[in-house]
Amino acid sequence: MKKVMFACKKNSCRSQMAEGFAKTLGKDKIEVNSCGLEASEVNPTAIEVMQEIGIDISDQTSKSINNFQPEDYDAVISLCGCGVSLPEGWILREIFEDWQLDDPDGQPIETFRRVRDEIKDRVEVLISKLS
């Protein structure tokens, strides 16, 4: 089973939503984690917009990339353009993608919903590529 890491700056919005989608849509197909260049907390609005579509990420926590080893992962996905800031080992995985999605933090809930839906579409493509 392929292992995927979703990385972002703070592991609070985009990477958390991606983790939630991948765990739900990729159940029994891929293993998933998310992390940030720094840990913070899961954004309450990210939790809310995921609950709107029936995915509960309220038990997920924000984690630092320093808690993980790049060689444990087959695919690394940056959601914020932070690929340039990731240590080299993370970029050299079998699959590395930098999705560069808008940061919904501090934006209206409509922005969270748009970014959520963009993440869902991309996660679906990623799962089919990996399974």
Quote the CA–CA distance of 20 and 61 in Å, as a whole number: 11
Q: Are 78 and 37 in contact (CB under 8 A)?
A: no
- Single pTM value for the model: 0.96
Paired tokens of 44: 């309450």
Q: What percent of the chain has pLDDT over 70?
A: 100
pLDDT digits (tens, 9 = 90+) for 9-20: 999 999 999 999
Q: Out of 8, 13, 35, 82, which one is annotated catalytic?
A: 8
Paired tokens of 52: 């709107």
Reported confidence tier of residue 74, pLDDT bands at 50, 70, 90: very high
The total number of structural domains that make up the chain: 1
Catalytic residue flag (residue 80):
yes
Reported confidence tier of residue 61, pLDDT bands at 50, 70, 90: very high
What is the predicted pLDDT for the residue at 83?
77
Pairing of strands 30-36, 75-78: unpaired
User: What beta strand segments (E) does 63-107 contain?
Assistant: 75-78, 95-98
Q: What is the CATH number of the domain that holds 109?
A: 3.40.50.2300
Catalytic residue flag (residue 8):
yes
In terms of residue numbers, what domain contains 114?
A: 2-130
Query: For 64, which DSSP code?
Result: B
Number of other residues whose CB lies within 10 A of the CB of residue 98: 17
Q: Out of 13, 35, 80, 82, which one is annotated catalytic?
A: 80
